[in-house]
Amino acid sequence: MIPSSNEKQKSTCKPIVTTRLPGPFMPPKKQNHHKAYDDMAEIEEYKKIQKLLSPLKLGPKERSNLTRVLKQLERMPSNLDNDKLFEPLAKMQNQTHAILPQCQVQLEEMITLSQFPSRSLKGFVRKVLHAPTLGLYIIKQIPINTRDERSHLREWISKWQKYQKKCKYLTEINATFWNSPEGCVSIVAEYTQNASLADIVDTIGSVNEKSAALIAKGALECLSFFHRKNICFGGLVPAHIIVTKKGNVKFTPRHERWLSAPSNELEADIYELGYMILMMLIGELDIFDVTEDNDCCFLHSIQQQFFLSKLSIEARDFLCLCLKSSPTSRGKVGDLLNHPWLSMPHYKGPDVNLTEIISLCIPSGNNALESAEKQLEHVTKALKVVLMGQHYRSESVPCPKELADDLGLSVDFVRDKVHKAFSEL
């Protein structure tokens, strides 16, 4: 059957799509005047909406006043300080950072590079590589047997993370994870090539006065942060004070006694620091034979005082103030920071920089170039496994400078290997 011309016209016409607005937005139909005037409420409502949507009709005076107000609103207030304007925003950001975790890292994204014993925290720690960011961290697993131990651990970690934002002399704790099957807490902290005071004494023995003064100044800066808040740090030992490869002094966490001493024992921190500086200058970690009839200080009560001639007068005076027998006679942190021994132009003894001493104390595990390249090959293979299914642009691949410095290889060589691994994902 052949369709008629009218049917052909109907079949070829495009369908008309209409949008249906609510009643007040639709104009009244003019075709049927009787039907339109029957619903007067709808017409009045349409007129009101049309009046509201029409532009404002202002006279010349009102229009000039409106323009002047708008210009004043656009201007930046010149009588206010910019810091005061952004102070509420800064407070809100600080509160947000206090609630949110500091580092979005996951344990399954970590690649273990090595394992070594820890002096600051008992047991072993793992040096790991965070695959998405190519950042180096250390992970320490602390076994927890009771709920009280877990509560105590969570308390001191929260305190440490609170203070590390304001004090640059504290090692950063980035994240913590609770491992239920193994019953332990995994602490993820920053990794720095460093050596503790115990490592320095064990490796090279006595330290020159110039380096000891720099370490004492950095430690006093950290203690001053807590003493200003009337907080006793507590439990200072040589294994918990580290010096980075760049010569910066930092305190590592120690949850057994940290912040557990009462606030009226601030002098105990001064005594412990002075004792450690004395051990560094002598090169001995053992307890000395002392006489109990000396009322001055621990320094002058040591029976073998032949080493005192090796120290300058300023160094002896500094140690005497720190090691006074009476706690009330010991120097305060502020007074010790202004002591002449910490800012002398020339020190007694050899002129050796602190960074040179630390470079001798940091163990280099990559003596041979072949072993470093072989380890880099294992790292690139692990990156492909951990980041499987993810895609990275060449410009979004992070710079592997930290990894290159740790392996002892050139940054360009490591970058080429890492970029190749990311391109094969």
Q: Are 258 and 158 in contact (CB under 8 A)?
A: no
- 165 in a domain, yes or no? yes
Do 216 and 324 sit in the same domain of this protein?
Answer: yes
Domain boundary among 190, 211, 233: 190
- Burial status of residue 251 (CB atoms within 10 A of its CB: 0-12, 13-18, 19 or more): buried
> Angle, to 10 degrees, between the axis of helix 197-204 and the axis of helix 266-282?
20
Do 201 and 291 sit in the same domain of this protein?
Answer: yes
**pTM of the entire structure?**
0.67
Do 144 and 217 sit in the same domain of this protein?
Answer: no
Do 198 and 312 sit in the same domain of this protein?
Answer: yes
Do 246 and 342 sit in the same domain of this protein?
Answer: yes
Domain boundary among 52, 70, 97: 52
Domain boundary among 190, 218, 248: 190
Specify the number of domains making up the chain.
4
Residue 236: give its domain's CATH number: 1.10.510.10
Do 32 and 170 sit in the same domain of this protein?
Answer: no
Do 122 and 172 sit in the same domain of this protein?
Answer: yes
Do 30 and 171 sit in the same domain of this protein?
Answer: no
Domain residues for the domain of 400 are: 394-420
- 232 in a domain, yes or no? yes
Do 326 and 234 sit in the same domain of this protein?
Answer: yes
Do 225 and 117 sit in the same domain of this protein?
Answer: no
DSSP string, 316-362: HHHHHHHTBSSGGGSPPHHHHHT-GGGG-SS-SS----HHHHHHHHS
349 - beta bridge partners?
none
Retrieve residue 182's tokens. Answer: 């193994």
Do 179 and 234 sit in the same domain of this protein?
Answer: no
* Dihedral in degrees, nearest 10, Cα atoms 236, 237, 238, 239: -110
Query: pLDDT 10s digit of each residue in the chain, 425 long?
Result: 455 555 544 445 544 444 444 554 455 555 555 555 556 777 777 777 666 655 556 667 777 777 777 776 666 555 555 555 556 555 555 544 443 334 466 788 889 888 877 665 566 788 999 888 888 998 888 877 777 777 778 888 888 888 888 888 888 888 888 777 777 788 888 888 888 888 888 888 888 999 999 999 999 999 999 888 888 888 788 888 889 888 899 988 765 555 555 556 788 889 889 988 988 888 776 655 555 555 677 776 665 566 777 888 899 899 888 888 888 888 899 999 999 999 888 888 888 888 888 888 876 544 456 688 888 889 888 888 888 877 777 667 788 888 888 888 888 898 888 888 888 87
- Backbone φ and ψ of 143, nearest 5°: -70, 135
